[in-house]
Structure 1
Amino acid sequence: MTAPRRALIIVDVQQEYFDGILQIQYPPREESLANILRAIDAAEQQDLPIVVVQHQFPEGAPVFAVGSESWSLHPEIEKRVTPSWKRVTKDKASVFAGTDVAQWLADRQVDTITIVGYMTNNCDIGTAAAAEELGLAAEILSDASGSPHLANEAGKVPAEQLHQTLLVLLQSNFAAVAGTDAWVTAVESGQALSKSDLGTSAVQGRAAFQGSASLTNA
């Protein structure tokens, strides 16, 4: 099997997610940041293309206002950026919407993107879903991403449950999910990460919950 031609996509590792109203709650912010930095180290050692993305809104916006502290990359990311990285801003969930990232990746013959950064529940899943239409395989690092607690008119969900649920969803169709350790090993050996599919995940899910009071229409 041909080795994946990967690129690392660093999604919105900005101060808003550490100090603002959108603070990441799970995994712990400093732990996910440490794993993002480990992924960068591995990518640079293997000469993988790297894209660093910032969400950006106009001046005066409550979050990600251009030039604001909320908009700024975390200092640990900012000091790692080099001229060889692709640096872009966006105002949609997907890193491909309104940017030239897809063409930049195509020019480098990338066929697999590895997503790290924030948030699992918005820009990460949006990017993974958009990759499918572009013919790109996607990977997401479970311990180098994260989610906040959410509550609205539809209900409420704690960050850990939200994060874990979305990882199961991603693995079922949109992206291969793995921890940073497993990904680094795969990168060093030139191997693809394993991914399930929707049918297999549904069959396994049915078996896992067979007989549960919470399962209906069994």
Structure 2
Amino acid sequence: MGKALLLIDVQEAFTDSKWGRRNNPDAEKKIQEILADCRQAQWTIIHIQHVSDSPDSVFYKHGAGFSIKAVVAPQPNEKRILKSVNSAFIGTDLEQYLNEKQIKTVAIVGLTTPHCVSTTARMSGNLGYQTYLISDATAAFEMRDHLGNWLDPETIHHLSLATIHEEFATVLDTESFKKDVVSIEG
């Protein structure tokens, strides 16, 4: 059965200062490593891009933030999917595409851990795909909680991973994923 790497929202929009402090500054480097290994192992590569019709959005379809970061630029044969909500499965052909390609294993990297990455991982697991989320190939930004308190990005990141691991997906770091999943399954 097939395997796919989903690169979620690795876009210039996340360089905007509006997001605040971020953890894991090497996430894009790890994503690049994983992408290279998955390409070599002939995994299906799917680039997911968040898009907005609003000129005020950092994800505006005609704005600089919409672009995929150059370090993970899609190759001509790699699928691109545009989404306008947190899940890469809602309002897109992702599930249909995975099923057509007979893909049963999905690995997820990208931005940001508590939003589009975790939402997509949850849906992937619920839809029955063997799902891996690569912990050091994603990142989170600081945010306020429901009481107005600031939470640091590392706490947000780890809490997001904890709520996914062993329920919706297997959370691994890059080295474990490359050694145990790409080399075994790839």
TM-score range for the pair, normalised by the shorter chain length: over 0.9
In the alignment, which residue of structure 1 is the partner of 2:16?
Answer: 19
Q: Is the 8 A contact 1:142 1:180 kept in 2?
A: yes
Give yes or no for the alignment of 1:9 onto 2:9: no
1:37-91: per-residue Cα shift (whole Å, max 9, x none)?
001111111000010011000141322001211111112222xx11221101101
Shift of 1:23: 5.5
Give yes or no for the alignment of 1:127 onto 2:124: no
Q: How many residues align structurally?
A: 184
Structure 1 residue ranges without an equivalent (≥5): 192-218
The structure that is strand-richer by fraction is: 2
1:116-159: per-residue Cα shift (whole Å, max 9, x none)?
00000000110011113322121111110000000154332100
Q: Report which structure shows greater RCO (CA 8 Å, sep ≥6).
A: 2
User: What is the identity percentage for the equivalent residue pairs of Structure 1 and Structure 2?
Assistant: 26
Give yes or no for the alignment of 1:118 onto 2:115: no
Structure 1 or 2, whichever has the larger Rg, is 1
CA distance in 1, matches of 2:157, 2:7: 18
In the alignment, which residue of structure 2 is the partner of 1:201?
Answer: none
CA distance in 1, matches of 2:63, 2:84: 15
What's the secondary structure of 2:35's corresponding residue? helix
Q: So what's the TM-score if we normalise by structure 1?
A: 0.79
In the alignment, which residue of structure 2 is the partner of 1:37?
Answer: 32
CA distance in 1, matches of 2:72, 2:32: 8
In the alignment, which residue of structure 2 is the partner of 1:92?
Answer: 85
CA distance in 2, matches of 1:171, 1:152: 22
Q: So what's the TM-score if we normalise by structure 2?
A: 0.92
What's the secondary structure of 1:112's corresponding residue? strand
Structure 2 residue ranges without an equivalent (≥5): none
Q: Is the 8 A contact 2:46 2:78 kept in 1?
A: yes
In the alignment, which residue of structure 2 is the partner of 1:184?
Answer: 178
Q: Is the 8 A contact 1:57 1:64 kept in 2?
A: yes
Q: Is the 8 A contact 1:20 1:70 kept in 2?
A: no
What's the secondary structure of 2:66's corresponding residue? coil
Which stretches of structure 1, 4 residues or longer, exceed 2 Å deviation after superposition? 152-156
Q: 1:89 to 1:184 in 2, by over 3 A?
A: same
**Correspondence for 1:174 among 151, 168, 177:** 168
Q: Which residues of 2 match residues 53-132 of structure 1 at below 5 A?
A: 53-78=48-73, 81-132=74-125
Shift of 1:189: 1.8
Q: Is the 8 A contact 2:19 2:142 kept in 1?
A: no
In the alignment, which residue of structure 2 is the partner of 1:162?
Answer: 156
Q: Is the 8 A contact 1:16 1:22 kept in 2?
A: no
What's the secondary structure of 1:188's corresponding residue? helix
CA distance in 2, matches of 1:43, 1:73: 18
Shift of 1:96: 0.8
CA distance in 2, matches of 1:77, 1:166: 24
